[in-house]
Amino acid sequence: MLENILVFLVRRIVHHLGLTGLLYTWIISASWLGFSLDNTTTVRTVQVTEKSSEQRLDNFLLRELKGVPRTRVYRLIRRGEVRVNKKRAKPETRLTVGDKVRIPPLHLPDSPELPKPSPGLTELLEQSILHEDDDVLVLNKPAGLAVHLGTGIRLGLIEAIRQIRSNWRDAELAHRLDRDTSGVLIVCKNPRALRDIQRQFKEKRIQKRYHALVQGQWPAVITEIKAPLTRALAESGERFVRVDPAGKPSATRFKVLEQLTSTTLLEAYPVTGRTHQIRVHCQHVGHPIVGDPKYGVTTRGEQSTAGEEAAAKYLCLHAVELRFQLPGTDSLFQISAPWDKSFAAQVLRFRKIS
């Protein structure tokens, strides 16, 4: 108890004084007290084992650095403070057995205890289960629920999942969906399954199908959009994705399902898997997705032609189907998710307007 009080007081004083360098390291190491205030003040080298083989570097670090904000993890990689076999690496770098990952010293404030999922959230997630076996858990992710914690988000889907059942404690996301996107989401229950599913994503063997309600009358002649994408930073500091000739090749196929008066219901097949790909491609041709707070204007900066009718509280994008191989099997597994109630309500609303 006394040790914990001393840890708290010394850390507060050090951070308040803004001490840095060797003096900071000596004080915070607290060897003069007989115990350590911070076990992250020295460089760590972690050797990759079979358990982590083929995992992306960013996912590996997020497991090693529990509680460290994702933004900070990516900043460490970008600045070259994290090294793989003494060389700079990218977040998507795949690790192999024997690789040595250098993790720099980290001086972190005391992390608040992770909140428990509420009974309502627990019930919602359990009702969202589409499939479960010994290796994977497939959910119909609700719109508005972030898949992991982050800035302003104290509890994400994966953190909640790990606390709900004992056999979900080691669960990891196999991929991600945006906070406001609903639909099929794969969660892996062990490292072997995670490697298997991520390998399928890397080799583009997983087929994805989305439904999107977009603003305006989508031209039937647009069946595929090939527009390279790149990440950018707005003056406000907000990160976003935009079309850029120098960006990464990106392609999405589209099919019109239903034409309404001021909107169009589409089926979208992402050929590549870039961040915000479907949303940006729809915006690029002047038909942003209904309810998109980030890309809800055309590339010309105009408001949508649907006007006030297109104003929606929720992003109308739903991951309706995935086709993949369950770990340890050779057969194709197809699973679909019914529309989120918010998505269904918006489609019904625009049908009535029509």
State the Cα–Cα distance between residues 189 and 327, nearest whole angstrom.
11
**What DSSP element (H or E) covers 171?**
none
Which of 101, 102, 98, 96 lies closest to 53, judged by CA?
A: 96
User: Which residue of the set 99, 178, 180, 292 is catalytic?
Assistant: 178
Handedness of CA 116, 118, 121, 126 (dihedral sign): positive
Let me know if 25 is exposed, middle or buried by CB neighbors in 10 A (0-12, 13-18, 19+): middle
Handedness of CA 6, 9, 12, 16 (dihedral sign): negative
Handedness of CA 345, 339, 144, 163 (dihedral sign): positive
Tokens 């996912």: give the residue.
59
196 classed as catalytic: no
Which of 244, 191, 156 lies closest to 55, judged by CA?
A: 191
What are the distances in angstroms from CA 84 to CA 13, 95, 96, 192?
A: 35, 8, 10, 22
Which of 235, 53, 2 lies closest to 10, judged by CA?
A: 2
Known catalytic residues?
178
